[in-house]
Homo-oligomer: A and B are copies of this chain.
């Protein structure tokens, strides 16, 4: 039985080094709300919700608000009917007025911690729990009300049944090769030599796909693209990310000017919720060989449904903390399979890499059942010393983890030091932090 839900507000002053910076999020302080569900048998279900600093406490407040909806719940009843508990929270007759955004993120925080408990109960890493779920259970996890015009339950079952015969072979293969990853080297605020150093390091770890933040100035971006292309070589993949900085027509003009640079995708060329705009951009850029990616800000499965069914995006960058947790994510991965859009989860932040490994493995063994064009994001900081079991990459691929659950247990030293605002890292800072930290 779940006896308590607690949250901790943990922030890292990443803005000091401009790590994670882009045209819109100029000085992010990578942060998480660490949610812990305490169980009467001593187990702890853990999840993180990622933010970029200010507002992390607001998420924490919301997750704490959901405490009465899980306290005293039996884990067994969740395991028997994992769709039920999710819908009790997500469709709470008063809370649902709050819309998506923060509310859905908080639901995700609670649900992902529930799933962590489940995986620990059966002593499996999350990916192994997901691989073992019967297709009927997967389908029962999902809130179908607003999705069935694009994917019916029967279609979802078909997709899972078709993948089933290949699952064991694929699992064995991934145990050897891992799941292919890519990494961002070109944070907006870094100097050229810092970027080159990062690329060198990533190449030495076997990476052959890299991302660069763009959007503010075409000449500057062209120079950066040339610099990176030279460093990585002509065959390697290069992706760009504008973090929603452009208007729709501006995105088309800007990217058309970059059509000769062999760009695999442009990520978030415009507003996160502009399905029609993304469609227009895809229509203009696809013939030039540029595909469009998005997901870290796509706020609901219904938004994904539209992005996928309208060919508004050609890469689905699911984020484990933006949606309502595993239940939402299963729905999106299934819809992506129907529309044959590769699932390339959003990593980075704190703990996202730890979570997306599991989702990518499920996709590549049990849903899409191939790994032809998926790329899973990886960032090379905030692992060692942060997590008890840091994410492992080998030859540019995620190694399949073996610890039970998500693998999100943080070291007590890291947590204590980075608690906001009273941890050692924050309490004596002279620079502004949180909401008061405004940059032009």
A93 touches B275 (CB 8 A): no
Q: Looking at the complex, which one of B98, B244, B270, B309 makes contact with A55 (CB distance below 8 Å)? A: B98
Q: Which of A386-440 contact B (CB under 8 A)?
A: 434-439
The majority secondary structure among interface residues of chain A is loop
**Nearest Cβ on chain B to A310's Cβ, whole angstroms:** 6
A55 touches B65 (CB 8 A): yes
Point out which of A69, A248, A439 has the most chain B C-beta atoms below 10 A from its C-beta: A248
Q: Looking at the complex, which one of B95, B247, B280, B300 makes contact with A148 (CB distance below 8 Å)? A: B247
B302 touches A273 (CB 8 A): yes
With A435-B69, A436-B68 known to touch, is A102 a contact of B98 (CB < 8 Å)?
yes
A272 CB–B CB distance under 8 Å: yes
A93 touches B273 (CB 8 A): no
With A57-B65, A99-B100 known to touch, is A94 a contact of B275 (CB < 8 Å)?
no
Point out which of A58, A92, A271, A322 has the most chain B C-beta atoms below 10 A from its C-beta: A58
In the docked arrangement, what's the CA distance between A42 and B405, Å?
Answer: 56
A97 CB–B CB distance under 8 Å: yes
Point out which of A25, A52, A97, A300 has the most chain B C-beta atoms below 10 A from its C-beta: A97
A132 CB–B CB distance under 8 Å: no
A97 touches B51 (CB 8 A): yes
In the docked arrangement, what's the CA distance between A227 and B249, Å?
Answer: 51
Indicate with 1 or 0, residue by residue over A97-130, a CB within 8 angstroms of chain B CB atoms. 1111111110000000000000000000000000
B103 touches A276 (CB 8 A): no
Copies in the complex: 2
In the docked arrangement, what's the CA distance between A356 and B439, Å?
Answer: 34
In the docked arrangement, what's the CA distance between A102 and B97, Å?
Answer: 10
Q: Which candidate, A26-34, A216-224, A335-343, A369-377, is the interface stretch facing chain B? A: A26-34
Q: Which residues of B contact A52 (CB under 8 A)?
A: 93-94, 97
A247 touches B149 (CB 8 A): yes
A271 touches B302 (CB 8 A): yes
In the docked arrangement, what's the CA distance between A66 and B55, Å?
Answer: 9
B101 touches A437 (CB 8 A): no
A299 CB–B CB distance under 8 Å: yes
Q: Looking at the complex, which one of B147, B275, B438 makes contact with A306 (CB distance below 8 Å)? A: B275
A276 touches B306 (CB 8 A): yes
A53 CB–B CB distance under 8 Å: yes
With A103-B101, A146-B247 known to touch, is A93 a contact of B26 (CB < 8 Å)?
yes
Indicate with 1 or 0, residue by residue over A135-148, a CB within 8 angstroms of chain B CB atoms. 00000000011111
Q: Looking at the complex, which one of B66, B102, B297, B309 makes contact with A103 (CB distance below 8 Å)? A: B102
Q: Which of A303-340 contact B (CB under 8 A)?
A: 303, 305-306, 309-310, 322
A88 CB–B CB distance under 8 Å: yes
A274 CB–B CB distance under 8 Å: yes
In the docked arrangement, what's the CA distance between A271 and B145, Å?
Answer: 9
Contact-size category for A: 35 or more
In the docked arrangement, what's the CA distance between A249 and B322, Å?
Answer: 27
Q: Which residues of B contact A61 (CB under 8 A)?
A: 58, 61
B437 touches A94 (CB 8 A): yes
A91 touches B274 (CB 8 A): no
In the docked arrangement, what's the CA distance between A434 and B68, Å?
Answer: 10
**Nearest Cβ on chain B to A140's Cβ, whole angstroms:** 17
Q: Looking at the complex, which one of B62, B98, B146 makes contact with A271 (CB distance below 8 Å)? A: B146
Q: Which residues of B contact A131 (CB under 8 A)?
A: none
**Nearest Cβ on chain B to A196's Cβ, whole angstroms:** 26
A24 CB–B CB distance under 8 Å: yes
A69 touches B438 (CB 8 A): yes
Q: Which residues of B contact A305 (CB under 8 A)?
A: 274, 276
Which are the 6 A-B pairs with shortest beta-carbon distances? A101-B101, A99-B101, A54-B94, A149-B248, A53-B94, A146-B271
Q: Besides the contacts A24-B96, A55-B94, A92-B438, what 6 more A-B pairs have beta carbons closer than 8 Å? A: A53-B94, A69-B435, A98-B105, A149-B277, A271-B300, A299-B299
